[in-house]
């Protein structure tokens, strides 16, 4: 059994988007995927194919620019689409213009993910590439299978490429909103990946891989171009962002007979009311430790497979950066200046974002601090009245501005009058009689 033989993860969208009556709700408005993959096929490659089964061409709305290969072609077929990155061929010299060299022996201790795309110091010889695609929301219950394959020259038809099996080991992630119970419960974003390599026989386990998972949340949507390893402002990679330190992915036999099942890694967590995107990074490495001689199940030295022991962590295989752009029923107050905004679950000051039931009406009240005035609403509210009512559908944002008060004084050296428009906050400035008044900052 070849340790580098791996199948791409099967992404299953099987969760029902259900929630109890009047519970908080959220939807995923788009799922973005960008991955680094090492060519460990023992052959030079001249392209890469992503097969997405279970979707239509319109479900795919963005593709990542592939360093050597540029923009891919998207080819639909009866039940899905192919996204293919391919080199051009020089028939005069009988040579391919672009090549991803074989790097089947990448050293996991010295390998740099930043060498998987142009700009990385070792890109030209790393044997690693950066690809990706993004999809619109898929209907609940739809089964989507994503497979990645290196493309190599067809030895029977030179000048043409064929997709190479077995597929590359890539942890393609499925993201969906999990069931929510209770009015106050935060929506849950679930992400799962399947074991890349199935068993070679029904009675044994597949080859195993180590997976490490990082996670973060942002208060804005992200784009596919931002999901690169050298973008720590978006992609989680620090020790403080580890969601799963280490885990083993290993496909189980048809019947696991009560043994531990590591076929799928699934993580979930509630989001904040102002969350707009949930980003996870999956890093996949070869497992080079011991297997049971009969079942081919991993027998990690620590007995739990929660961290690689000496000799168990092999070469880098792939890294998947995935982002779910999330739209929740929530109200966010963006406040400038000193004062408070309150209403419903909002108490801003302290809490400037809160979930709300879709269709609910929230009445907000602005209260300026001492020496300040309320300058007005923006966003979903307008005007300068201290109160505003807003209906929540999706993510609603309201701006509230508090401003300072300054005194304008007029001094006269001779008889006459000076009048000011508009009126001050405390009185009209009309000098002869009233030669000073208070005005909000920025008033012309």
3-state secondary structure 245-308: EEEEEECCCCCCCCCCCECEEEEEEECCCCCCEEEEEEEEEEECCCECCCCCCECCCCCCCCCC
* Residue with the larger pLDDT of the pair 315 and 351: 315
Q: What percent of the chain has pLDDT over 70?
A: 90
pLDDT value at position 238? 94
Half-sphere exposure of 15 (CA within 13 A, CB side): 20
3-state secondary structure 139-157: CCCCECEEEEEEEEECCCC
pLDDT value at position 5? 29
Q: List pLDDT tens digits, range 198-257.
A: 777 778 888 999 999 999 999 999 988 899 888 999 999 999 999 999 999 998 887 665
> Which of helix, strand or coil describes residue 130?
strand
pLDDT value at position 233? 94
Residue 273 near residue 281 (C-beta atoms within 8 A): no
Q: List pLDDT tens digits, range 77-108.
A: 999 999 999 999 999 999 999 999 998 665 54
> DSSP code of 383?
S
Residue 177 pLDDT > 90, yes or no?
Answer: no
Tokens standing for 331? 């109200």
Q: How far apart are CA 377 and CA 399, in angstroms?
A: 5
Tokens standing for 248? 């083993």
pLDDT value at position 139? 74
Angle at 40 between CA 238 and CA 61, to 5 degrees: 65
pLDDT value at position 230? 86
Counting every residue written for the chain, the total comes to 444
Which residue is associated with the tokens 């990385």? 120
Residue 18 pLDDT > 50, yes or no?
Answer: no
pLDDT value at position 99? 96
pLDDT value at position 380? 94
Closest CA to 175 of 279, 283, 52, 251: 279
Q: List pLDDT tens digits, range 254-310.
A: 766 545 567 878 888 888 888 999 999 999 999 999 999 999 999 999 999 999 999
Closest CA to 408 of 421, 399, 398: 421
pLDDT value at position 191? 87
Describe the chain by its helix, strand, coil percentages, rounded to 5.
5, 45, 50
**Averaged pLDDT for residues 416-435:** 87
Q: List pLDDT tens digits, range 359-401.
A: 889 999 999 998 889 999 999 999 999 999 999 988 899 999 9
* Residue with the larger pLDDT of the pair 217 and 433: 217
pLDDT value at position 8? 31
Q: How far apart are CA 183 and CA 114, in angstroms?
A: 44
Q: How far apart are CA 358 and CA 329, in angstroms?
A: 6
Q: List pLDDT tens digits, range 103-156.
A: 866 554 467 888 898 878 889 888 999 999 999 887 767 788 899 999 999 999
Q: How far apart are CA 429 and CA 417, in angstroms?
A: 10
* Residue with the larger pLDDT of the pair 411 and 365: 365
Q: Which backbone phi and psi does 93 adopt, to 5 degrees?
A: -105, 0
Tokens standing for 133? 């695609």
Q: How far apart are CA 74 and CA 61, in angstroms?
A: 11
Q: How far apart are CA 272 and CA 66, in angstroms?
A: 34
């Amino acid at each position: 059994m070849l340790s580098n033989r791996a199948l791409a993860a099967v992404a299953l969208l099987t969760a029902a988007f259900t929630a109890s009556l009047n519970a908080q709700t959220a939807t995923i408005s788009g799922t973005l995927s960008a991955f680094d993959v090492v060519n460990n096929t023992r052959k030079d490659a001249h392209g890469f194919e992503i097969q997405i089964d279970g979707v239509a061409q319109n479900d795919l709305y963005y593709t990542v620019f592939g360093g050597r290969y540029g923009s891919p072609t998207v080819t639909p077929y009866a039940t899905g689409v192919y996204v293919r990155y391919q080199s051009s061929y020089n028939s005069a010299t009988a040579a391919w213009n672009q090549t991803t060299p074989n790097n089947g022996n990448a050293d996991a201790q010295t390998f740099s993910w930043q060498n998987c795309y142009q700009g990385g110091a070792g890109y030209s010889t790393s044997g690693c590439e950066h690809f990706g695609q993004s999809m619109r929301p898929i209907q609940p219950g739809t089964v989507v299978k994503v497979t990645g394959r290196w493309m190599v020259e067809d030895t029977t038809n030179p000048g043409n490429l064929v997709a190479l099996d077995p597929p590359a080991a890539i942890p393609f992630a499925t993201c969906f909103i999990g069931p929510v119970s209770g009015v106050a419960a935060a929506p849950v974003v679930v992400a799962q990946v399947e074991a890349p390599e199935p068993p070679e026989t029904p009675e044994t386990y597949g080859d195993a891989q180590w997976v490490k998972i990082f996670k973060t949340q942002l208060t804005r949507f992200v784009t596919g171009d931002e999901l690169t390893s050298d973008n720590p402002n978006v992609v989680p990679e620090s020790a403080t962002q580890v969601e799963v330190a280490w885990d083993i992915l290993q496909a189980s036999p048809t019947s696991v007979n009560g043994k531990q099942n590591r076929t799928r890694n699934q993580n979930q967590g509630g989001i904040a009311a102002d969350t707009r995107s949930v980003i996870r990074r999956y890093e996949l490495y070869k497992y080079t430790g011991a297997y049971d001689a009969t079942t081919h199940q991993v027998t990690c030295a620590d007995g739990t497979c929660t961290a690689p022991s000496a000799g168990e962590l092999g070469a880098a295989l792939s890294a998947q950066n995935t982002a779910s752009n999330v739209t929740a029923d929530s109200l966010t107050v963006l406040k400038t200046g000193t004062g408070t905004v309150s209403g419903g679950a909002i108490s801003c000051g302290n809490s400037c974002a809160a979930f709300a039931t879709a269709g609910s009406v929230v009445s907000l009240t602005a209260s300026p601090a001492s020496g300040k005035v309320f300058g007005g609403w923006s966003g979903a509210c307008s005007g300068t009245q201290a109160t505003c009512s807003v209906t929540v559908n999706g993510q609603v944002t309201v701006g509230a501005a508090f401003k300072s008060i300054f005194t304008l004084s007029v001094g006269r050296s001779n008889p006459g009058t000076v009048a000011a428009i508009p009126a001050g906050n405390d009185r009209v400035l009309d000098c002869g009689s009233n030669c000073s008044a208070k005005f909000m900052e920025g008033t012309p």
